[in-house]
Amino acid sequence: MNSVINFNIAQWRAWAPGLESVDDWQAWSRQPVVLDASDAAPDVSFLPAMQRRRLSRLARMAFSVGWPLAEGRQDLPLVFISRHGETPRTFDILSDLAAEQPLSPTQFSLSVHNAVIGLWSIMRGETAEMTALAATGDGLEHGVIEAVALLNEGAPAVLLVVTEEQPPEVYSPWVNDVPFPYAVGLLLTPGHDWQLSMQSTPVDVPESDWPHALDLVRTLLNQQTTCQHAWKNRVWTWQRSL
């Protein structure tokens, strides 16, 4: 089975510890390496201090890449993608539960998968359609499908944000697809600059060493016209028009 969708990437932004500017990402894309462990968090000083205090690093990463892309746009739909979500918050809740400590309602409410889009809606006063997805290794592509569906329904633009937090060490036997914390934001608009197709028949495409969103950043920065992502029995091909 083959399926094809078309869209433009009008703007993009990315953040990881020590990788904030385009030059930083350009250098990393030429020689990608796993970043050292860091507690660094992105600057979200554009938010009031009372609001900033509620944000985990995962939420801060999402806001840091998404907020500038949404600047000046009203009724902008948002597609938020994270495979693992708020694992540090969840681990803290489970630790309190194991120690028979009272659970924090605030911690719980901010640990659910759609907490980030809820905070986004409140802080921006945004009432446009918003979706939170928890897909597997090809969550980026499933997010693009969701975003393009919104474009096809008439949205002039859709904001897509992919972000992953470094899970606590206890999760390491099960979670091995987050080399370091990162967030990637894409502002998608109607057009034919990009084509994304999916083939579900077996194709010999090796899995990338990097999450799909980081691989796409490398493609964008290195001016490549094609990249492929394989996950399970699905092969996704990104093709850029010349």
Q: What is the pLDDT of residues 9-60, one digit of tens each?
A: 999 999 999 999 999 999 999 999 999 989 999 999 999 888 888 899 999 9
- Segment 151-159 shows an average pLDDT of 97
pLDDT tier, 204 (very low <50, low <70, confident <90, very high otherwise): confident
Quote the tokens at residue 240.
Answer: 């850029």
Residue 2 predicted with pLDDT over 70 = no
The per-residue pLDDT for 203 is 65
Which among 140, 218, 196, 162 has a CA at the least distance from the CA of 8? 196
pLDDT tier, 180 (very low <50, low <70, confident <90, very high otherwise): very high
Residue 133 predicted with pLDDT over 70 = yes
Q: What is the largest CA-CA distance in the chain?
A: 60
Sequence-ordered strand ranges (E) for the chain: 2-15, 78-81, 130-133, 158-164, 182-199, 226-231, 234-240
DSSP 129: -
- Segment 61-79 shows an average pLDDT of 96
Q: Which helix (H) or strand (E) holds 178?
A: none
Residue 1 predicted with pLDDT over 50 = no
Which among 128, 151, 223, 132 has a CA at the least distance from the CA of 7? 151
pLDDT, greater one: 127 or 201: 127
pLDDT, greater one: 202 or 68: 68
Does 9-192 carry CATH code 3.40.47.10? Answer: yes
Residues whose CB falls within 8 Å of the CB of residue 149, separated by 6 or more in sequence, listed in order: none
CA 198 to chain centre: 20
Residue 115 predicted with pLDDT over 60 = yes
pTM of the full structure: 0.92
CA distances 90 to 12, 168, 224, Å, are 29, 10, 38
- Distance separating alpha carbons of residues 230 and 208, to the nearest angstrom: 8
- The full set of domain ranges for the chain reads 9-192
